[in-house]
Amino acid sequence: MSSQKRFLAVPDVAETLNVTVRQVRALLHSGELRGIQVGGRGIWRIEAQELEDYIARQYDRTATAVAEDHFTAQAPTSSQR
Q: What is the 3-state secondary structure (H, E, C) of 31-68?
A: CCCCCEEECCCCEEEEEHHHHHHHHHHHHHHHHHHHHC
Contact (Cβ atoms closer than 8 angstroms) between residue 48 and residue 7: yes
pLDDT at 69: 84
pLDDT at 70: 73
pLDDT digits (tens, 9 = 90+) for 12-39: 999 999 999 999 999 999 999 999 999 9
* Domains in the chain: ranges and CATH: 7-67 (1.10.1660)
pLDDT at 40: 87
Does pLDDT of 80 surpass 80? no
Closest CA to 9 of 39, 44, 40: 44
Backbone φ, ψ for residue 37 (5° rounding): -105, 130
pTM: 0.78
User: What would the mean pLDDT of 48-70 be, rounded to a whole number?
Assistant: 94
Contact (Cβ atoms closer than 8 angstroms) between residue 31 and residue 71: no
